[in-house]
Structure 1
Amino acid sequence: MRHAQSVPPRLGVPDDDRRPLSALGLEQAEALVSRLVAYEPAAVLSSPQLRAVQTVRPAADALGLAVTTWPELREWESGLLPSADWESSYARSWARPDSAHGAGESLDALTVRAGKALARMAVEYPDATVLVGSHGTFLSRALIAAGHRADWESCRAMPMPAVYEVTR
């Protein structure tokens, strides 16, 4: 799932992994508990970025499960600084998914990373449901890695929070 509504990033500086959910996002995370608990997950995994952890923690607590963070579930390491025109930069990246910005990863590299994370889940949690907290671009590329269609428009339109079901 994509994290709930977060505090916006600060423009012009690298994004902060400790950027939290907003007050609305904390309410959204609590409101998701009954829906997420109904899946009866065997594990709760999350990006190590705070906003993703905060989104799945209430469900994990209700289930009596720990939130386990995996670095490979992080958001896209785009190499771009948050800016007012971020959408045009992202659109260009989606148009050329093999390109990277500076030391950032390409969207193709993110798709590979997401696919490896899905494969690791299948090995570590065979025949089990796993609740995963992550980020919009990561989830879009994970859907592609799983054989589903996703593009810039669907990524851009993804709400916070958003729940997707991916099955083998």
Structure 2
Amino acid sequence: MKETNIYLIRHAHSTYTPDEYGRELSQKGREDQERLTNVMKNVKIDAVLSSPYMRAIQTVEGIAKDNRLEIQLIEEFKERILAQEPVENFDEAIEAVWRDEAFHLPGGESNERARLRGVQAFKEVLHTHRGKSVAIGTHGNLMVLTMSYFNNQYDVSFWRELDMPDVYRLTFEGEELKAVNRIWE
């Protein structure tokens, strides 16, 4: 069986605004996006998918351009909704949702719900692009929640160590995770 390689790409740095769909990369994020494009230059990518959030799209634009591909937007790869309203203490809110998989803040998604959303879309990618190499522009929490479905070593501690951007290549045979390699240094 031919391996499928999924490059999960956490978006580069963006300047916070409450507009999740429109928030763009910061100057540092744009510089890191150029470095990321360079790092991925010698990797043959068959498809580029992204969260519909601008910061994720902008992060993978160079990869799409280098491979002469259109970016396909996948709503399910958007970041987990932590709460309907901005939270007072982000760190406490993150601790609460990671401590109890079913817990969610008002208007937010639990780890269970966000993981289910991400994994369903991820499995669709594995089936649609079997044996191919796919880059997915996404977000830290959703990325780690999806990875944790395949291996529970990926948790909130792992999430805290992620860079912006960050890239992990997940190698699959069918739906079985065979290897995880960090690409970003």
Q: What TM-score results when the alignment is normalised by the length of structure 1?
A: 0.91
Matched residue SS, 1:8: coil
- Matched residue type, 1:147: N
What number of residue pairs does the alignment pair up?
164
* Separation of aligned partners in 1, 2:47 and 2:99: 35
- Matched residue type, 2:135: L
In structure 2, stretches of 5+ residues that fail to align are 1-8, 173-185
In structure 1, stretches of 5+ residues that fail to align are none
The residue aligned with 1:21 is 25
Q: Give 1:154's match in structure 2, choosing from 145, 154, 158.
A: 158
- Matched residue type, 1:4: A
The residue aligned with 1:81 is 85
* Structure 1 residue 69: Cα displacement: 0.5
Q: Give 2:104's match in structure 1, choosing from 95, 100, 107.
A: 100
Matched residue SS, 1:45: strand
Q: Give 2:13's match in structure 1, choosing from 5, 17, 30.
A: 5
Please say if residues 46 and 133 of structure 1, whose CA atoms lie closer than 8 Å, have aligned partners that are also in contact: yes
Q: Which runs of 4+ in 1 moved over 2 A?
A: 80-84
* Structure 1 residue 38: Cα displacement: 2.2
Residues 85-94 or 151-160, more deviating: 151-160
Please say if residues 114 and 145 of structure 1, whose CA atoms lie closer than 8 Å, have aligned partners that are also in contact: no
Please say if residues 96 and 103 of structure 2, whose CA atoms lie closer than 8 Å, have aligned partners that are also in contact: no
Please say if residues 87 and 93 of structure 2, whose CA atoms lie closer than 8 Å, have aligned partners that are also in contact: no
Instruction: Please tell me the root mean square deviation across aligned C-alpha atoms, in Å.
Output: 1.5
- Matched residue type, 2:124: R
* Separation of aligned partners in 2, 1:146 and 1:37: 28
* Separation of aligned partners in 2, 1:122 and 1:104: 27
Matched residue SS, 2:170: coil
- Matched residue type, 2:22: R
Matched residue SS, 2:123: helix
* Separation of aligned partners in 2, 1:97 and 1:38: 39
* Separation of aligned partners in 1, 2:160 and 2:92: 11
More strand by share: 2
